[in-house]
Structure 1
C-alpha cells in the first residue's frame, strides 16, 4: 500500500513540476482544472511537439495514461502512415501560431493505444508562457457523427434510386391507361364489344398496378418512420391475403400453387411481410412457366426459419443472380421487369427485420427465392 501511495505522489509531483514549468499552474484556479472540465480531449505540447500533459478525456479517448505519454512525441496519437506529414504540420504551426480549426474538409484520424483508428476533429490554440510557447490541441471523437453521415448518405442514395424507379413505373402505367382511354373515346364506334372489354380490362389492370405502387410507396414511408410493432407470426397466415390480392392473376394464368403448411413462426411485422410475399408470388406468376407451377415451403435452420418460393420459369443466368436485389440497378430492371420497386422493398424489409433475402436459379430449371428470419 505504501509503495502505491509513494508512486501516486511521485506521479502527482512530476505532473505538477511539468505544469509549473509550462506556466499552467497559477494560484488556486489552474488551467489544468479547466482542462479536466472539458468534454474534449486536450493535449498540451511544446514547440518540439513533445507532450507536456493531457486531460482525463484524452486518456479515455485514446487509452493512454497521463504519465506514460509525458515527454513523448504527439505523433504517438497519429497512425504511422500519417506521421511524417503531421510532423510538418506541427512545425508549420509553431512557425506561424494562431487559433484555428484543423482539417476543415479533411478526414483526420487519431490512433488509440490498442491500434484502433478513430475519426477526430481538431482545433488548435497556443500560449506564451515563461518556459516558451506551447500548443494546445482540442480533440473531439466524431465517430458517431461519421457513422450518422454514412447512414444518411446511404439513405439518400436509396431514396434517389427509389424515386427514380417509382417515377418510371408510374409514368409507364399512367401513359398506358391514358393512351387506351383516349383510343376508346376517339374511336368508340370502331371497336367491337369484345375488343372494348379487352381494352377496359387492360385499363383496370393498369389501375391495379398503380394501386400496388402507391401501396408500396406508403409502406416505404412507414418503414422510414419505423412505425411498427413486431409480433409472433405464422407465415402461412400471411400468404392467404396475398393470394386474395392476386386471385385474378392466379386465375388468368391457371397457376398451380402448393403450400407446405408448417407451423414455423417468426418475429416480424405483418404488413411488411405480407408485402414480401406479394412481391415473391407476383414474380413467380409473371415469370413462371405456362401455366405457372409454384411451390412454397419452409425449414428450420438453428435460430432462423428459411422460407422459399419455387417457380417453373426459364430461370436466371448465374452472372445475373447477384444483381436481382440491387437497388436501382439497370441489370436488375432487365432481369425482373414490370414493377421495379418490388424487390427493392423486399430487400429493405428483410434487412430491417434482421433477415436475409436471396435467390438461386439455373436457366431452364426455374428460380427459388428465399427469405430467412429469426425464429420466434
Structure 2
C-alpha cells in the first residue's frame, strides 16, 4: 500500500481508516502507533495499549526471528530501495483463537525513514474457504484432481487415487499424461492448450468414448468435467473424473439382452410357425377326408380342441413378438388429454355393463406417445375384469400428478392377488389366474413397454377397493438421458 502523505498526522489519519491492521515500528520492532483494525485483530480494545510494545511478541518464535532479520536488512537499505516483504503467519490474539494473517513490511512514507509500517491482513476467510474446498474435494464420491498450466498434477482426492490405483503421493507433481493412454496424449495437449486459452466449465470428450490409464496398464472408461479454479498465484484447473465401467457393462449387457431377446423371438416365430401350420393343415385334411363319416361326439370335440390349441400357440408367438418390440421406445410425442385416453382405453377393453366404473382425473394434459400409454391402460383395465373372479364388480380409474410423473391408478374389488405373487405376475408366461384365458404375456408386455418409456408399474393387494391396485408412473417430464437417445 502506498500513501503519498508528508507528515505524521496525515499518516495516522490515513491508516486509522484502513480496513486492514497497521502498526508503525522502528528498527528494534518497537510499536509507536497502531490503528483500530489491528487492535481488533489482536483482541485489544484500545489501539493505544499497543504502543511501546514489541511487534515480535505477537508472532510465533520462528516468524519473529525472521522479522528481526528482515528489519535489519530493511533499514540497512536506502529508503528508496527498501522492498516490501510479506509472509503468512499464525498469530494468537489476547482472547481469540489463533488466526492466520498475512504480514507485510513496507516503507513508511514521507520523512519517516527511521520507521516502517507493518500491515496485518486477516486470512481467516481465505483459510476457511480453502478448508471447505479441501473437505468437499476430498469427500467427493467421484475422482477429482487439480492441475496447473503446465499440466502437472497439484492435488488429487482419495476417490481418484482408488480409481487409478495410485497412492496420492505418487501422482502429485506428475504430468497429467500419466493417467492417459499413449494414443490420446498428443491430442490431449492440444485440447488443454485450447482450454487454457479460453477456459469454461464443460464436459470433456463430448460425443466420444474416453478412457483413462490404470496403474496396472488397463484402460478404464471415464467421463471428465473440467473447470477453472480461481487462484491468486497462478491459474489452476480441476477435473472431475467418473469411472463409468459399471455403467458401460450394464449398457452392454442390456444391449446384448435386448438383441438376444429379439433374435430369439424372431427365430422362434419362424421355427414354430412352420410346424404349427403343418399340424393345422393335417387337421384340416383329416376333417375333409372324414367329411362323409359320422364322427363320435368326443372325436369331434378333440378336433375342435386341437384347432383351439393351435390358435392359442400362434397367438403366443404373436405375443412374444409384441413383447420383444415393447422394449423399443416410441418417439412420436403428442399432447394427450388423460380423460380422453381413459375413455379410449375403456372402449377397447370391452368392460361389461355389469361392472361399475368410476373415473377421477386430477391432472393436466401430458406430452407422451399415445400408443404405449393407451395400450398399458387397456391391458390393466382388461385384467381387472378378467381376473376379478365375479360377473359384476367395481373398477376405479384415477390420475394424479406426483413430482415429474403422472400416476394412473386402476383399482378393483375382485379377489386380488395371492400374497407373495406381486412381482411374479409380471414374469413372462406367468398366469395370475390359471382358470382364465391367456398365455401369461400381458403383464410382462405391459411392464416392459412402460419401462422402455421411463416409467414404472407396480401392484399391491389388497388395494383401496379390496382387490388389486395397479399404478402406472408415466413421466410427464423426460430425463435428459431419454431426450438424448
TM-score relative to the length of structure 1: 0.50
Which of residues 450, 454, 460 is equivalent to 1:350?
450
Which deviations, in whole Å up to 9, do the C-alpha atoms of 1:234-271 show, x marking residues without a partner? 23433455455554xx56xx762514163643332111
List runs of 5+ in structure 1 lacking aligned partners. 7-60, 88-98, 102-118, 126-135
Contact 1:284–1:311 (8 Å) recurs in 2 = yes
Write the distance in 2 (CA, Å) between the matches of 1:201 and 1:261: 43
Structure number with greater CO (CA < 8 Å, separation at least 6) is 1
| Residue 372 (structure 2) aligns with | 272
Tell me the SS of whatever aligns to 2:361: coil
Gapped runs of 5+ residues in structure 2? Answer: 2-85, 87-142, 171-180, 184-209, 224-242, 478-485
Provide the residue aligned with 1:360 in structure 2: 460
- Is 1:357–1:370's contact at 8 Å kept on the other side of the alignment? yes
Q: Which residue of 1 aligns with 2:395?
A: 295
Asked if the contact 1:305/1:372 (under 8 Å) is kept, the reply is yes
Q: Is the 8 A contact 2:426 2:443 kept in 1?
A: yes
Residues 144 and 156 in structure 2, CA contact (< 8 A), matched pair in contact too: no
Paired with 1:170 and 1:245, the residues of 2 have a C-alpha distance of 30
**Contact persistence 1:173–1:209 (CA under 8 A):** no
Separation (CA, whole Å) in 2 of partners of 1:356 and 1:246: 21
Alignment of 1:101-250 (within 5 A): 121-122=212-213, 141=222, 143=243, 147-160=247-260, 182-183=282-283, 185-187=285-287, 189=293, 190=295, 202=308, 206=312, 209=315, 213=319, 216-217=322-323, 219-220=325-326, 224=328, 226-243=329-346, 245-247=348-350
CA distance in 2, matches of 1:207, 1:151: 33
Distance 1:209 1:284, change over 3 A: farther
Residue 170 of structure 1 and its aligned partner are, at CA, apart by 9.7
What secondary structure is seen at the aligned counterpart in 2 of 1:319?
coil
> Which structure's residues are more often helix, by fraction?
1
Aligned to 2:162: 79
Structure 1 match to 2:144: 62
Would you say the 8 A contact 1:356–1:371 is kept in 2? yes
Superposition RMSD on alpha carbons, in Å? 5.5
Return the match for 1:333 from 427, 430, 446: 430
CA contact (8 A) 2:431 2:440 kept: no
Across the two proteins, how many residue pairs are aligned to each other? 270
Cα distance change, pair 191–359 in 1 and its aligned pair in 2 (3 A): farther
- Which of the residues 385, 406, 409 maps onto 1:308? 409
| Contact 2:165–2:214 (Cα < 8 Å) also in 1 | no
- Kept in 2: contact 1:100–1:123 (CA 8 A): no
Q: Is the 8 A contact 2:333 2:369 kept in 1?
A: yes
Q: Alpha carbons of 1:76 and 1:310: their partners in 2 closer, same or farther (altered >3 Å)? A: closer
Corresponding residue for residue 133 of structure 1: none
Report the CA distance shift for 1:300/1:124 in structure 2 as closer, same or farther (over 3 A): closer
Q: Which TM-score applies when normalising by structure 2?
A: 0.41
Residue in 2 that maps onto 1:281: 381
Match of 1:354, SS? coil
